[in-house]
């Protein structure tokens, strides 16, 4: 009788249309060119321990897809290295993972399973180039470009702080009715971000402009974009898009809205630039790319250097 791993792999193969899983390496039917990205999700590091396996699965995929979105790529293949403790519900995880893969056009083509006392997943995704498009890069910003943010900032960090306070699964009872909806949205935004693949593909069809996804905070990632482009930037505090009732929500969790919006991280929206006059299908303009290397924040009409707030994964 086959043992646990072989049994799970057979079940997995049964879920897939034309399984590539089975040999030591997967041979990809499609040629390139490819954009490739890899990202971790580790229990207690990237999400709170005890999270529903189905939510972990969707979060893992979404966070990685956001990197492909930043390249303007069309999702193609996924490779999953999964190490989970005893008792982890693999079928619940994979059912949600494969459903999400199907939604986004990802074909699971390989993986590696292991036991570990701490849940760790590393997902490698490969994407193909948009027809007639280009690859997006964070190094393509030029002075004079308008600087855009694809969605709201800080809400994911507020969701993270909320979970720390109200537990998991979260209990929203302490919130008054209008704030309760905002709190729910923030938790959902933190746990299950929506990758901006359509926006990325649209940007890839433009002639010029830089793009990256905001994973470590708008401030830190903007510094990275400017360094890669050899340019500076000026952003307007008042222009930063915030979620509905975000400021009220921040009060209840004792957080500064601007600090969360600039340095909270895990927003998974695109930060991008476009020549003046071009209007993207999503996002809000938050500033301008400048000559020089300085990054400034304008607040109440006064400009000051923007510190590199945000996440450093090795500190």
CA atoms within 13 A on the CB side of 253: 29
* Closer residue to a copy of itself, CB minimum distance, 118 or 251: 118
The whole-angstrom distance between residue 33's C-alpha and the CA centroid of its chain comes to 23
Q: Which of 104, 135, 172, 202 binds a copy of itself (CB under 8 A)?
A: 135
Give me the residue label for tokens 């500064």: 256
DSSP letter assigned to residue 238: G
Shortest distance, CB of residue 191 to a copy of itself, whole angstroms? 18
Q: Kindly identify the residues of this chain, within the stretch 276-295, that bind a copy of itself according to CB under 8 A.
A: none
Query: Shortest CA distance to 218 belongs to which of 125, 284, 132, 142?
Result: 284
* Closer residue to a copy of itself, CB minimum distance, 234 or 308: 308
Q: Which of 14, 17, 18, 25 binds a copy of itself (CB under 8 A)?
A: 25
* Closer residue to a copy of itself, CB minimum distance, 86 or 277: 86
DSSP codes joined into one string, 253-302: TT--HHHHHHH------EEEEE-TT---SS-EEEEEEESSS-EEEEETTE
Q: Does 31 bind a copy of itself (CB under 8 A)?
A: yes
* Closer residue to a copy of itself, CB minimum distance, 194 or 308: 308
* Closer residue to a copy of itself, CB minimum distance, 212 or 255: 212
Q: Kindly identify the residues of this chain, within the stretch 170-199, that bind a copy of itself according to CB under 8 A.
A: none
Alpha carbon distances (Å) from 232 to 169, 202, 285, 302: 42, 24, 16, 17
* Closer residue to a copy of itself, CB minimum distance, 92 or 188: 92
Rg over CA atoms, the chain:
20
The Cα–Cα gap between 183 and 155 comes to 9
Q: Which stretch binds a copy of itself (CB under 8 A): 112-120, 145-153, 233-241, 284-292?
A: 112-120
Q: Does 113 bind a copy of itself (CB under 8 A)?
A: yes
Cβ-based burial of 36 (10 A; exposed 0-12, middle 13-18, buried ≥19): middle
CA dihedral for 273, 274, 279, 282, sign (positive or negative): negative
* Closer residue to a copy of itself, CB minimum distance, 126 or 274: 126
The Cα–Cα gap between 128 and 113 comes to 26
Shortest distance, CB of residue 255 to a copy of itself, whole angstroms? 21
Q: Does 50 bind a copy of itself (CB under 8 A)?
A: no
Q: Which of 51, 111, 185, 233 binds a copy of itself (CB under 8 A)?
A: 111
Shortest distance, CB of residue 288 to a copy of itself, whole angstroms? 22
φ and ψ at 11, to 5 degrees?
A: -60, -45
Q: Does 28 bind a copy of itself (CB under 8 A)?
A: yes
Q: Kindly identify the residues of this chain, within the stretch 69-88, that bind a copy of itself according to CB under 8 A.
A: 70-71, 73, 77, 79-81, 83
Size of the site for a copy of itself (CB under 8 A): 71
Q: Does 306 bind a copy of itself (CB under 8 A)?
A: no
* Closer residue to a copy of itself, CB minimum distance, 135 or 172: 135
Q: Which stretch binds a copy of itself (CB under 8 A): 108-116, 233-241, 274-282, 285-293?
A: 108-116
Torsion, Cα of 216, 220, 221, 223 (10° steps): -170
Q: Does 14 bind a copy of itself (CB under 8 A)?
A: no
């Amino acid at each position: 009788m086959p043992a646990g791993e072989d049994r799970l792999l057979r079940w997995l193969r049964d879920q897939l249309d034309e399984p590539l899983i089975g040999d030591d390496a997967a041979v990809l039917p499609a040629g390139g060119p490819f954009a490739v990205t890899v990202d971790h999700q580790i229990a207690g590091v990237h999400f709170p321990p005890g999270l529903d396996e189905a939510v972990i699965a969707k979060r893992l995929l979404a966070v990685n897809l956001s990197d492909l979105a930043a390249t303007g790529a069309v999702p193609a293949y996924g490779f999953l290295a999964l190490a989970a403790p005893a008792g982890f519900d693999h079928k619940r995880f994979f059912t949600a993972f494969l459903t999400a893969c199907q939604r986004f056009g990802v074909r699971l083509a390989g993986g590696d399973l292991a036991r570990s006392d701490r849940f760790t997943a590393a997902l490698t995704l490969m994407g193909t180039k948009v027809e007639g498009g280009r690859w997006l890069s964070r190094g393509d910003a030029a002075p004079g470009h308008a600087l855009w943010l694809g969605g709201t900032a800080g809400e994911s960090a507020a969701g993270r702080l909320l979970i720390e306070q109200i537990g998991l699964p979260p209990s929203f009872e302490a919130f008054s009715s209008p704030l309760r909806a905002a709190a729910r949205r923030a938790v959902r935004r933190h746990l299950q971000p929506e990758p901006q693949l359509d926006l990325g593909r649209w940007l890839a069809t433009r002639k010029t402009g830089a793009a990256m996804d905001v994973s470590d905070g708008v401030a830190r990632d903007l510094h990275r974009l400017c360094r890669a482009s050899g340019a500076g930037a000026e952003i307007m505090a008042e222009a930063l898009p915030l979620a509905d009732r975000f400021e009220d929500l921040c009060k209840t969790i004792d957080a500064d809205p601007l600090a969360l919006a600039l340095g909270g991280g895990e927003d998974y929206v695109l930060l991008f630039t476009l020549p003046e006059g071009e209007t993207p299908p999503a996002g809000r303009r938050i500033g301008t790319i400048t000559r020089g290397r300085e990054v400034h924040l304008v607040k109440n009409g006064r400009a000051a250097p923007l510190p590199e707030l945000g996440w450093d994964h090795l500190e």
